Amino acid sequence: MAEYQTPTTGEGQESSFEQLKPYMNPTMAYYESSRCLFCFDAPCVKACPTGIDIPLFIRQIHTGNLDGAARTIYDSNYFGNICGKVCPTEVLCEGACVFNLQDVKPIEIGRLQSYATSRAIRQEKRLYQTGPANGHKVAVIGAGPASIACACELRLLGYEVDIFEAKSHPSGLAIYGCAPYKVTNQDVLEEVNYLQELFQFKVHYKHPIQTKAQITALEHDYAAILLGVGLGPTQALHLEGEELDNCIGATEFIEQVKLIPLTVEVGRRVIVIGGGNTAMDAASESARLGAEMVTVAYRRSKEEMRAYAFEYDLARSAGVMGLFNAAPVAVLGEEKVSGVRFVKTRNESGQLRHISGSEFEVACDMVILATGQAKQSAFLSLVDSLDKDGRGCIIVHPQTFQTSRPQYFAAGDAVNGGAEVVNAAAEGKLAARGIDKYISNSK
């Protein structure tokens, strides 16, 4: 039995995708901030990839200095509100909070962070001034979190910044990927608009960089170039039947859910193949769109899934079922998907083995492949002598984020292979400082 009805109205959609971390009201924020112990050498700060001074902003909230709290957050992380909502806080700051040692609920750091930053956004607080113009221009390719964080920091340092974005919205997978029950598109766009108002970087939408001639022109016109292009479409599995109707990649499915939630078609019986966080999101979202039966099928055991345990629990709470040690062999159907043939697997000293003769079929009318995203190989090949690692990720200097081509810097998923918004935001900011060092030294 489906737990959710297919939403047909805006209200239905809001209820199916009810926010996991709704905004606190002032009383809630006052009470929650009063619980913080303001630890010395706070473990929550060490667990944050952007190193936000968490006890400080919590103290500022508690004493009513909300502008100060927002400033403390934005000084470390330009995606303060979005990260407060989408960060896996359970395994980062909140997971490190000392209260866990006493079996007491950790401080709700993410929600407090969103409380302070969303107020600054709503009230259009002028927390920053751009630096005096230094006469240098930087081009940024992609308008995801890595690029926008880089652009904000560069504007503080006085650079002129042009962002070239292939799509029609800013913030990359924060808008096209992050689950709608974690953050709304409105929240994402409001924070990015706020940053753009504050920092005045230019974004050229529907402007993909895809030819050698464009790259050569950028190299000529700009002192440095940031590659913030993220990852590509869902990686094909090359399974028999993968081309059938209603067999779709997870990132492509989720993008539809984010952009056209009321018209996206979800199957009645959905099989999601994969064991990462994207698989859990695709499964949860299918269930919340009213699918009657959603199964996450993973070729290894439940314990070996890469998804965070809380993401699996969240999918389970939406009615999703798990099928483990089952490797897909073929997608079945004539024109349209009608099922998946699996083979059972076992782990032999770390090696995944198919158990011969154990094939079985599960009927479904939709298959979602959550098998990872491909790298942006075609785009990256446009930049000569750009070093990549064995996975196809751009190799950068760990502190400056400079690539093997001195004029080029890179940050975010294209470098780390796919992490979180907070990692992209942290890397983008560091890359801006690397760019500043490079341009200052070349004068």
Ligand X SMILES: Cc1cc2nc3c(=O)[nH]c(=O)nc-3n(C[C@H](O)[C@H](O)[C@H](O)COP(=O)(O)OP(=O)(O)OC[C@H]3O[C@@H](n4cnc5c(N)ncnc54)[C@H](O)[C@@H]3O)c2cc1C
What residue 39 binds from ligand X, ligand SF4, none (CB within 5 to 8 A, per partner kind)? ligand SF4
Supply the minimum distance, in Å, between the C-beta of residue 433 and ligand X. Answer: 17
- Cβ proximity to ligand SF4: between 38 and 205 the closer is 38
Supply the minimum distance, in Å, between the C-beta of residue 32 and ligand SF4. Answer: 10
The pair of structure tokens assigned to 281 is: 């999101």
User: Which of 108, 160, 281, 285 contacts ligand X by CB under 6 A?
Assistant: 281
> Per CB under 6 A, which of residues 316..345 are in contact with ligand X?
none
- Cβ proximity to ligand X: between 247 and 380 the closer is 380
Beta bridge partners of 141: 164, 227
Q: Count Cβ atoms within 10 A of the Cβ of residue 28 and give its class: 0-12 exposed, 13-18 middle, 19 or more buried.
A: middle
What residue 44 binds from ligand SF4, ligand X, none (CB within 5 to 8 A, per partner kind)? ligand SF4
Residue 52 touching ligand SF4 (CB under 6 A): no
- Cβ proximity to ligand SF4: between 53 and 242 the closer is 53
> Per CB under 6 A, which of residues 101..140 are in contact with ligand SF4?
107, 109
Residue 36 touching ligand SF4 (CB under 6 A): yes
**Under the phi-then-psi rule, with left for phi > 0, alpha for psi from -120 to 50, and beta for the rest, what region is 357?**
left
What residue 107 binds from ligand X, ligand SF4, none (CB within 5 to 8 A, per partner kind)? ligand SF4
CB atoms within 10 A of CB 26: 12
Supply the minimum distance, in Å, between the C-beta of residue 120 and ligand SF4. Answer: 20
Binding span for ligand X by CB under 6 A among 33-41, 140-148, 152-160, 396-404: 140-148
Give CA–CA dist 255/250, Å, rounded. 8
Supply the minimum distance, in Å, between the C-beta of residue 175 and ligand X. Answer: 8
> Per CB under 6 A, which of residues 332..371 are in contact with ligand SF4?
none
Under rule CB under 6 A, how many of the chain's residues touch ligand SF4? 14
> Per CB under 6 A, which of residues 376..405 are in contact with ligand X?
376, 379
> Per CB under 6 A, which of residues 83..102 are in contact with ligand SF4?
97-99
User: Which of 43, 68, 88, 322 contacts ligand SF4 by CB under 6 A?
Assistant: 43
Binding span for ligand X by CB under 6 A among 135-143, 318-326, 345-353, 359-367: 135-143
Supply the minimum distance, in Å, between the C-beta of residue 261 and ligand X. Answer: 15
What residue 37 binds from ligand X, ligand SF4, none (CB within 5 to 8 A, per partner kind)? ligand SF4
Binding span for ligand SF4 by CB under 6 A among 35-43, 157-165, 220-228, 323-331: 35-43
Residue 420 touching ligand X (CB under 6 A): yes
What residue 192 binds from ligand X, ligand SF4, none (CB within 5 to 8 A, per partner kind)? none
What residue 330 binds from ligand SF4, ligand X, none (CB within 5 to 8 A, per partner kind)? none
Residue 257 touching ligand SF4 (CB under 6 A): no
Supply the minimum distance, in Å, between the C-beta of residue 61 and ligand SF4. Answer: 12
The four Cα atoms 391, 392, 398, 400 give a dihedral, to 10 degrees, of -170
Supply the minimum distance, in Å, between the C-beta of residue 229 and ligand X. Answer: 4
CB burial of 281-293 (b: ≥16 within 10 Å; e: otherwise) equals bbbbbbbbbbbbb
**Under the phi-then-psi rule, with left for phi > 0, alpha for psi from -120 to 50, and beta for the rest, what region is 200?**
left
Look up tokens 């805006």; give the residue: 10
Residues of the shown chain interacting with ligand X in the complex, contacts defined by CB under 6 A? 86-87, 141-147, 164-167, 172-174, 177-179, 182, 208-210, 228-230, 251, 254, 278, 281, 376, 379, 412-414, 419-422, 424
Residues of the shown chain interacting with ligand SF4 in the complex, contacts defined by CB under 6 A? 36-39, 42-44, 54-55, 97-99, 107, 109
